[in-house]
Amino acid sequence: MAGDGETMTKAITRSPELLRAEREIALARERVAQSVLALRDAVAKQTNWREWVRRNPGLFIAGAFTLGLLWGTRSSRRPARGAGETITNRGGTWTWK
């Protein structure tokens, strides 16, 4: 009986349908692997901030200027922290307690 099983296994592994199916599976795996690598590269490129800055330098310069202007304007309006210190700015009065 053991001999019959071995003969049957050899016959199955040598069948043309099985060989064709294995080749198709191998090709499909290769295509999936290539697609995954291409997708990984595309995602890495889209999420790379240096690439965004390289493609849109004016936008980032304008954004940096705007943020700096807002930050500088907000920080210049804040009074210094001191107990009981009163600061007058353009008619408004701030008092820290």
Tell me the C-alpha distance between 19 and 4, whole Å: 21
DSSP of 33-95, one letter per residue? Answer: HHHHHHHHHHHHHHT-HHHHHHH-HHHHHHHHHHHHHHHHHHHHHSPPP-TT-EEEETTEEEE
Note the pLDDT tens digit of each residue in 36-89. 999 999 999 889 989 889 999 999 999 999 999 998 888 766 555 555 566 666
Note the pLDDT tens digit of each residue in 15-30. 888 889 999 999 999 9
Among residues 78, 95, 77, the alpha carbon closest in space to that of 86 is found at 95
